[in-house]
Amino acid sequence: MDQVSSPDIKDKDTVLTLAIMTANAYVKDETETDWEDVGERWNRSADFGWESDGLRGHIFVDDTNSTIVIGLKGTSMAVFDGEGTTTNDKVNDNLFFS
């Protein structure tokens, strides 16, 4: 069986970097005040979904182009449908986790 590398979840810096990438999935880009820098080792290589109300996120690649992290925006809570991505968030939630 092939071995697939994965993050060292026992390493504090790794976990914190992944947490920052996760938080950034809710922010459009680095010009927003909520954006957090992920450090020099990583770059935001691509973004997706920001022009519509569907799945959104960012793709981060390390400085050696050997590791890719896809940060997906999760569900936004809504009392009523229609605000931002809330309507499709319910659909995506069901597709991913049902």
pTM above threshold 0.85:
no
In 3D space, the residue among 22, 69, 71 whose CA is nearest the CA of residue 41 turns out to be 69
**Span 58-92, pLDDT tens digits:** 999 999 998 999 998 876 665 555 556 666 666 66
> How would you list the strands of the sheet with 42-48, edge to edge?
42-48, 57-62, 68-72
The residues pairing with 47 across neighbouring beta strands, listed in sequence order, are 58
